[in-house]
Amino acid sequence: MLQKLIIRNYAIIDHLVIEPDAHLNTVTGETGAGKSIILGALSLILGERADTSILINKYEKSVIEGYFDVSGNEVFKSALAEAGLDYDDQCIIRREIAVNGKSRAFVNDTPVTLNVLNKLTSLLVDLHQQFGHLALEDDNFQMEALDAIGNNMDAVADYRKLYFQHKSTKQKLADLRERQSQWQKEADYKQYLLDELVQAGFKEEEIEQADHQLKQMSHAERIISVLQAGRIVLEEGEAPLVNELKRISQQLQSITDVMPEIKPLQERITSVWAELKDIAGEMEMEEGKITHDPAVMEELLQRLDLGYKLLKKHAARHTSELLELQRKLTDELKATLDINESIERLAKEEGVLYKEMAEVAGKLSARRKQVITPFTKRINELLSLVGMPNAQFDVRMEQTSPSPYGADHVQFMLDANKSGQFQPLQKAASGGEMSRIMLCIKSLTAEALHMPTLIFDEVDTGISGEAARQVGFLLRELSQYHQVICITHQPQVAARGSRHFYVYKEADSTERLSTKVRVLQPGERVLAIARMIGGEQPSEAAINNARELVEI
């Protein structure tokens, strides 16, 4: 709901504040007083483009601010989140036009683009020019209107739940089939790679160990020679080092009784003797490991050759990477089998959901068909009341592929002059007729449909008398559920407002005219409506007529 509209330095508006109430706000005033200018200013915060020609004072920027109560508006809250904007129960929309022509838009003091502004404000304000054409070109709106009349909202919610479940399942199935198709193209090659790795049969660190072992075998003679020479020095020569250390240890042991302080030296030499004896034994053991078997070397060469080829082929550096690739290929080929099972399961699930969705869609279609005749009849009755007695309204519905709104396509049709030629409503009706038709539709769907602030301009163009009176009643009825702002020249419409704004021009001290707006009090309101009936100097009869209209 629009709580407050502030306009500064726009066209002939110096500074203006309008605070509409939650129901029907009527706006009246002489032609040229500035009613359309106010709408023009409002359109700026709805995302319309502007230029510097609207600036009164060429040295100050133009600012238009709208304060909206958005508490409970979950659709708007979701749109804010989608745009990355913070939510508050009161939303402030501001548009600034600088003296150089540059424009900026803000939502709760956060800068936004005009596209974002337009998307957000379309959920808050609906000017008749927008909703007269765009809403009626939107098949979803026409479907929602029909469902609102038929009280089908719960049925639509049940259908939509199944629709999105089916859509999600169908998408998952398509993704899996696409993945399956890609995998099948690669499966043969992957199987070949896996077979090659399995046939090679490498174990952990095998290539690295084979390389190490082959290097040892290639230098077997030198390794054995070095180990033998060292062992001979320790245990076999003319004066083996191990035996000499043992002898020294024994001699030191013999004097410890007379020289106890020599005991630590004797123990250290004994320790060295034992360590060297162990070293000699290990050298003999390592010497025994060294072999120069040509058959073993040939086998190692073959394994290394195969290993290096596979490492190069798969851009790997270690045996562990080849084994990891082998495990990965095994998992991927196994997943190919698993995905077949998943596809089969999802295909069955998708079929069941489609059957359920089609069944619910059929029931929904039947309910819609039932309401078309009474809906059409009621709209035609209202059209006659609002000054379109020759117009014939009709609803065409045909079956289509499933959508979020069902398996139906709904089209509102109009024969404006009983010609027998029905056309889509947006093509057959003029601007003023469109507003009245939309008023009739919205008045019937008001309680069931969530709608933003509705602004009607020219809704009473070309009508008077009883037709204007009926338009006033419809507007008043609509305003019981939604905030409505109506710019009108008809006293019958103006009298129905819960708040009456009067637009006028006033000269300042420099004789410059500017647009002003004020809320009319009860007595002022009767006089304003009387002037709409009888001119600037209304008669007593006009005043009484005005009073009667207000009190109805």
Q: Are residues 44 and 63 in the same domain?
A: yes
Q: Mean pLDDT in each 10-residue stretch from start to end of the chain (552 residues)?
A: 92 90 92 85 85 75 92 88 91 90 90 90 73 54 86 90 94 89 78 87 87 78 78 78 85 86 89 87 79 78 87 88 89 76 91 94 94 92 88 92 91 88 84 82 79 82 84 89 90 92 85 88 90 87 89 77
Nearest-angstrom CA–CA distance, 287 and 284? 5
CA-based Rg of the chain, rounded to a whole angstrom?
Answer: 46
**What distance, in Å, lies between the first and last C-alpha atoms of the chain?**
26
Q: What is the pLDDT, as a whole number, of residue 48?
A: 84
Does residue 354 belong to any structural domain of this protein? no
- What is the DSSP-derived secondary structure letter of residue 234? I
Query: Total domain count for the chain?
Result: 3
Q: Are residues 456 and 535 in the same domain?
A: no
The residue assigned the tokens 């003091």 is 109
Does residue 241 belong to any structural domain of this protein? yes
Q: Are residues 515 and 529 in the same domain?
A: no
Q: Are residues 58 and 105 in the same domain?
A: yes
Give just the sign of the alpha carbon dihedral 522, 528, 532, 535: positive
Q: Are residues 248 and 281 in the same domain?
A: yes
Q: Strand, helix or coil at 6? A: strand
Q: Are residues 458 and 527 in the same domain?
A: no
Q: Which of 242, 231, 236, 233 is nearest to 250 (CA)?
A: 242
Q: Are residues 513 and 529 in the same domain?
A: no
Residue 105: which H helix or E strand, with range? Answer: strand 103-107
Among 258, 293, 317, identify where a domain stops.
317
Helices (H) and strands (E) in the chain, counts: 19, 15
Q: What is the pLDDT, as a whole number, of residue 346?
A: 92
Does residue 174 belong to any structural domain of this protein? no
Q: Are residues 249 and 288 in the same domain?
A: yes
Domain hosting residue 247, numbered range: 206-317
Q: What is the pLDDT, as a whole number, of residue 139?
A: 61
DSSP for 178-192, written as a single string: HHHHHHHHHHHHHHH
Q: What is the pLDDT, as a whole number, of residue 293?
A: 74
Does residue 110 belong to any structural domain of this protein? yes
Nearest-angstrom CA–CA distance, 470 and 492? 8
Q: Which of 218, 133, 51 is nearest to 427 (CA)?
A: 133
Taking CA atoms, 296 is separated from 215, 290, 299, 325, 439, in Å, by 12, 12, 5, 28, 98
Does residue 388 belong to any structural domain of this protein? no
Q: What is the pLDDT, as a whole number, of residue 134?
A: 47
- Count of Cβ atoms closer than 10 Å to residue 76 Cβ: 20
Q: Which of 505, 425, 406 is nearest to 162 (CA)?
A: 406
Nearest-angstrom CA–CA distance, 384 and 377? 11
The pTM assigned to this predicted structure is 0.64
Q: Are residues 100 and 41 in the same domain?
A: yes
Does residue 504 belong to any structural domain of this protein? yes
Residue 398: which H helix or E strand, with range? Answer: strand 392-403
| Contacts (Cβ under 8 Å, ≥6 apart) of 62 | 8, 9, 10, 50, 54, 55, 96, 97
Beta-strand relationship, 125-127 and 392-403 = unpaired
Does residue 340 belong to any structural domain of this protein? no
Q: Are residues 105 and 213 in the same domain?
A: no
In this structure, are residues 273 and 251 in contact, taking their beta carbons and an 8 Å threshold?
no
Residue 89's domain is classified under what CATH number? 3.40.50.300
Q: Are residues 495 and 536 in the same domain?
A: no
Q: What is the pLDDT, as a whole number, of residue 521?
A: 92
Q: Are residues 219 and 309 in the same domain?
A: yes
Residue 515: which H helix or E strand, with range? Answer: strand 513-519
Q: Strand, helix or coil at 150? A: coil
Nearest-angstrom CA–CA distance, 270 and 286? 24
Does residue 437 belong to any structural domain of this protein? no
Cα 521-527-531 angle, rounded to 5 deg: 140
Residues constituting the chain = 552
In this structure, are residues 164 and 156 in contact, taking their beta carbons and an 8 Å threshold?
no
